[in-house]
Structure 1
Amino acid sequence: MHRPVTPGPHPDDPGYPALSAPAAPGLDALDARLVDCRACPRLVDWREEVGRVRRAAYRNETYWARPVPGFGPADASLAVIGLAPAAHGGNRTGRLFTGDPTSDFLFTALHAAGLAALPTSRSRDDGQRLYGTRLVSPVHCAPPDNRPTPAERDTCRPWMARELALLGPTLRAAVVLGGFGWQALMPVLTAAGYVLPRPRPAFGHGAHTRIEGPDGPLDLLGCYHPSPRNTSTRRLTPEMAADVFRRAARLARPDD
């Protein structure tokens, strides 16, 4: 007797992340489900429009124009949490923090801290590798004006929640780039069983708090987001960013 096959969640369903992410058995499976997601119509329209119109400098390239998964090893002890892919960066190349000025700044700092093989991140096949570090994003599609809505952030949350849960056994520290990522992370940590102090820790560059979780303590550090506005005004310098990453690396791998 043949049993009827129960269809899985459809990528167009607004509940697709919440239905699909928690059951992913590993990061590869999670990423495979994530790249099919079409749960946020505004973000889908924008990422695909950018991929069709393209910037003049990239007019001969085929844009990724899909959700962009995390990047880095599955046994990372350090997570770097950003905001969302850039329209002509990650949305073009298919890899977070890749192919735009923000990524150049970030990878220069990661390389200076010994966390990246190369000081630049230009494409998915450029040979870049991260050492003990994984890039994570609260929102996986490029948003108009780099501003996802609170509803889009919340819809996307299950992807980051599952990613951090899968990293949990080895994760010991996280650097959060900017206040948006910091605020997006707090409910994920609470739901995952981490004990946050009260009042909740406030974001700031160089902020540091240690929280207890199901797999042991986690050190959270804040760093200004490496946006062109912050770097051109020198609110964030390469030395400032590298100092935060060096500190995070020591906390993540205290026995090295």
Structure 2
Amino acid sequence: MRDTEGVDGLSELDRRITGCRACPRLVDWREEVARTKRAAFADWTYWGRPVPGFGPHDASLLIVGLAPAAHGANRTGRMFTGDRSGEFLYPALYDVGLASRPTAESADDGLTLYGTRITSPVHCAPPANKPTVEERDTCRAWLVSELKLLAPTLRAVVVLGGFGWQAALPAFAAAGWQVPKPRPAFGHGAHVRLASGHPELEPLDVFGCFHVSQRNTFTGRLTPAMLREVLRSAAFEAGLHPDGPAE
């Protein structure tokens, strides 16, 4: 994605992401969903564009998901906001002191993240929640740019799901960290420390966590306690040391 060259900061990067039309299938889908809507959200004006990352620009912890949900972030314009996955993720972030509130309903609901930013390897809502490999690879340049901009403060990353893991590892390498070969395998609770590729870059602790999808949370494959444990471990490595809900 040539448009990522020369980005001066995260605000500019976010602006460029929201104007991306690189993947025709995703553009058609996200805009069709925004037009037809879901009956429960008939009075909403859907975002219907690529969804940028959410959180402070000096975050030391990054959470990497998969892609926006059609009637979640594609509707609200904010990562994991307005869908069942967010209803699972944000209470856990609140419980460990990384979020100001346990709910995420709209982009203007006052939710604040502490030392934590949320992004995804694919910024458009995909049909059936399944981006193609080509779409994932096309979108990777945005993640690489985000990682480079966060690098001065970034110390740990939680990657949600195997798709995100496969997308994130090449992005880490492109952003300057050393990814072992063969690449580390994804698993819940996986933890690998990536050495820096140059003196200005600090090592990066990367944690794997099952995705907060309904398939995982409704079946008990991922429980709130399991998610909190990974978040606490990653937050500790990021130097955040949360110990409970913020006052």
Letter of the 2:55 counterpart: G
Equivalence for 2:216:
230
Residues 145-164 of structure 1 deviation map (CA, whole Å, 9 limit, x = unaligned): 00000111111111111001
Aligned to 1:136: 119
TM score, norm. by length of structure 1: 0.91
* Cα shift at 1:189: 1.3
Instruction: Give the deviation of 1:41 after TM superposition.
Output: 0.6
Structure 1 residues 170 and 127: CA distance shift in structure 2, 3 A: same
What letter matches 2:9 in structure 1? Answer: G
Equivalence for 2:82: 99
> Structure 1 residue runs of 4+, over 4 Å off?
none
The question of 1:116 aligning with 2:99 is answered yes
Write the deviation string for residues 220-242 of structure 1: whole angstroms up to 9, x where unpaired: 00000010010000000011101
Match of 1:48 among 20, 31, 45: 31
**2:179, 2:141 → 1: CA distance?**
19
| Amino acid of the structure 1 residue aligned with 2:134 | A
The answer for the alignment partner of 2:167 in structure 1 is 184
Q: Secondary structure at the match of 1:175?
A: strand
1:225 counterpart letter in structure 2: H
1:243 equivalent in alignment to 2:213 = no
Q: How far apart are 1:117 and its partner, in Å?
A: 0.6
Q: CA deviation at 1:196?
A: 1.6
Q: Is the 8 A contact 1:206 1:222 kept in 2?
A: yes
Match of 2:57 among 67, 74, 78: 74
Structure 1 residue 80: Cα displacement? 0.1
> In 2, Cα distance between the equivalents of 1:227 and 1:200?
24
Partner of 2:21: 38
Query: Is the Cα contact below 8 Å between 1:22 and 1:158 reproduced in 2?
Result: no
Count of aligned residue pairs for this structure pair: 239
Give the equivalent residue in structure 2 for 1:220.
206
Structure 1 SS opposite 2:136: helix
Measured in 2, the distance between the counterparts of 1:35 and 1:139 equals: 12
| 5+ long unaligned stretches in structure 2 | 243-247
Return the letter of the residue paired with 2:185: A
Q: Who is 2:45 aligned against? A: 62
Once the two structures are TM-superposed, the CA of residue 255 in structure 1 deviates from its matched residue by 7.5
The alpha-carbon distance between structure 1 residues 93 and 194, as it changes in their structure 2 partners (threshold 3 A), is: same
Tell me the secondary structure at the aligned position of residue 21 of structure 2: coil
Give distance in 2, aligned partners of 1:64 and 1:108.
24
Q: Residues 6-21 of structure 1 correspond to what in structure 2 (within 5 A)?
A: 18-21=1-4
CA 1:54 to 1:255, structure 2 compared with 1: closer, same or farther past 3 Å?
A: closer
User: Which residue identity does 2:202 align to in structure 1?
Assistant: G
Matched, 1:167 2:150: yes
Asked if the contact 2:115/2:240 (under 8 Å) is kept, the reply is no
TM-score by length of 2: 0.95
Max Rg structure: 1
1:155 to 127, 138, 159: 138
Identity over aligned pairs, percent: 62
